[in-house]
Chains A and B, each alone.
Chain A
Amino acid sequence: MIPDKGRLRLSGWSPGLALVAALLAGSARAQAAPPAPDGAALPGPNAELAQPYDPWEGLNRRVFAFSNGLDHHLIGPVVHGYMRATPLPIRNRVTSVVYNLWEPGNALDDLLQAHPRRAAKSTARFAINSTIGLLGLFDVATGMGIEGHDSDFGQTLGRYGAQAGPYLYVPVIGPLDLRDGIGRVVDIVIDPVSLIPGASRTSFKTSRAVLGGLESRVAQDTALRALDDGIDPYATARSAYTQHRVFVVQQATGAVAELPDFEPPSGEPQPSMPPLDKLPPDKP
């Protein structure tokens, strides 16, 4: 699973702040990088891209197997039933409403990342889509050239040099690293939408949580299908998640991706192209 956004409502925030402190303390070994002005690039260490830090791999693999089974037998069929039963135009309206309610949080994270232009974009999108777009049903702002983007507190921590920390596979929620997990808790605590009158009502919170969860799972459907192609689906999911989070942080820092070299090790011959007649037949 490659969550683009996860703003599940959790109770209690003191543990979250304690974890923030622990993470920031732990990140002291990371390269200290000063915050960049809007548009400037920060150097970003990409060690986690080359080798994900997974000290609890045994436990994570068991949780992954459990979650995958749950998704195949329960969550997946429910979501696919929803996708089949709901016409695409209606699903698109649901998507628009859910994404619109994330915009204030995006703006806040953009500000914390010292990206005023991106914060202004998110604010303008929320204002335009909530009014002209009929409470977010229609994404009018994109039509006006104000494209949307995702920002989160895990990304904010990454922008200022915090390391990803250990990889963890959480039942139902999916893959996380310590930095992203803390970020999600903080995003819930500081969510500006909770300040809107009426947003504290249980019915609103429940509807938003259910629709947000449903929308997240629909958005991940293609990524989950890709896991079917993996020889080791656990390693595939871990690699995809880790790369995605590195990419998200790079969007905030402006750093150019540090990619591994494709040249073979010195003195190593390149594998030859298999003759065409040795290839298995194409699948029908």
Chain B
Amino acid sequence: MSSMPRNTIRRHPRRRLSALMLAAIPLAWLGSPASVMAAGARDPGAEQFVQTGAQRIISVLADRGQTAAQKNATFHRAIDELADVPKITGFVLGKYARTITPPQREQFATAFRAYAEHVYQNRLDDYHGELLKVTGSVVRKPGDVVVNTLVSGGQLGQPVAVSWRVLGGGSAWKVVDVQFKGVWLAITQQQDFVSTIDNAGGNIGVLITQLQRDVQRPAPHAR
């Protein structure tokens, strides 16, 4: 009895082909991209910018041949070239961007620049990936694009999805935010900072002092 199906298939190659196709169709259907992903217009220029620029950052952090100080310096230069730091600085202040005084703005910009660099480096470093591959992009409006990528390799068991929000156009793009597991870093920082200032009775100086203190604090031991 148990050999009957095998013999039947051997005698009927067309039936075997049909059986294989029947098995393959559902697997191909299941293996195709998830249907619920929103379809939107893509921007090849933004995708190319992220592929090149973000891969450069990932490669710097994964490079075991560089010392920590060298990595920090390279990361610092990469941020200068790839990120729109002034725009991010204004954004994270939220409603307090309207009331901050010029001297406070200058102090905040200096403190935030160092803090943000430290945080972005930590988050990207958490995943220890080596390879970045652009999987698509969504044009939110002209000049405002979210580029989706997968970071893999290194110590990652499974690829990690990372999205990059870039502003600009043509060949001039800048990163303004990065998303891991649905969480945007700049949006999180804005809510963190606004809450801190709110709890200090609207005193922006308290946030600036804490940022300065945080940057001087030694990095916590890896858990």
Chain A residues with CB under 8 Å of chain B are 2, 4, 38-39, 41, 49, 52, 76, 80, 88, 92, 115, 117-118, 120-121, 124, 142, 144-147, 149, 221-226, 228-232, 234-236, 238-240, 243-244, 246-248, 250-257, 259-260, 262-265, 268, 270-274, 278-280, 282-284
Does the CB pair A247–B182 fall under 8 Å? yes
Does the CB pair B31–A247 fall under 8 Å? no
CA distance A133 to B216 in the complex (A): 49
Does the CB pair A284–B113 fall under 8 Å? no
Q: Can you name the residue of chain A whose Cβ is closest to the Cβ of B113?
A: A274
Q: Which of A223, A231, A257, A271 has the most CB of B within 10 A?
A: A271
Q: Can you name the residue of chain A whose Cβ is closest to the Cβ of B94?
A: A260
Q: Can you name the residue of chain B whose Cβ is closest to the Cβ of A83?
A: B223
CA distance A259 to B158 in the complex (A): 27
- Contact A283 B219, CB 8 Å, known A235-B196, A257-B146, A278-B110: yes
Does the CB pair B27–A144 fall under 8 Å? yes
CA distance A146 to B30 in the complex (A): 6
CA distance A80 to B69 in the complex (A): 28
CA distance A268 to B105 in the complex (A): 12
Does the CB pair B31–A271 fall under 8 Å? no
B215 at the interface (CB under 8 A from A): yes
Extra inter-chain contacts (7) besides given A145-B30, A236-B192, A246-B182, CB under 8 Å? A118-B35, A120-B30, A230-B188, A231-B214, A253-B36, A263-B87, A272-B109
Q: Can you name the residue of chain A whose Cβ is closest to the Cβ of B139?
A: A256
24 A-B Cβ contacts within 8 A? A80-B223, A115-B36, A117-B35, A118-B36, A124-B30, A222-B127, A231-B192, A236-B188, A238-B191, A240-B183, A244-B182, A247-B182, A251-B37, A252-B36, A254-B36, A256-B38, A259-B184, A262-B87, A264-B90, A271-B89, A279-B110, A280-B212, A280-B215, A284-B69
B78 at the interface (CB under 8 A from A): no
B181 at the interface (CB under 8 A from A): yes
**Which residues from chain B contact A41 at a C-beta distance below 8 Å?**
38
Q: How far is the CB of B175 from chain A (nearest CB, A)?
A: 11
Question: Which of B85, B210, B216 meets A231, CB within 8 Å?
Answer: B210
Does the CB pair A273–B109 fall under 8 Å? yes
B173 at the interface (CB under 8 A from A): no
Q: Can you name the residue of chain B whose Cβ is closest to the Cβ of A116?
A: B35
**Which residues from chain A contact B199 at a C-beta distance below 8 Å?**
232
Question: Which of B38, B105, B140, B195 meets A271, CB within 8 Å?
Answer: B105
Does the CB pair B181–A260 fall under 8 Å? no
B138 at the interface (CB under 8 A from A): yes
Stretch at the interface among B1-9, B43-51, B118-126: B118-126
The 9 closest A-B pairs by CB, nearest first: A247-B182, A145-B31, A235-B195, A282-B72, A239-B191, A39-B35, A274-B110, A244-B182, A239-B188
Q: How far is the CB of A151 from chain B (nearest CB, A)?
A: 10
**Which residues from chain A contact B132 at a C-beta distance below 8 Å?**
none
Does the CB pair A248–B30 fall under 8 Å? no
Does the CB pair A222–B109 fall under 8 Å? no
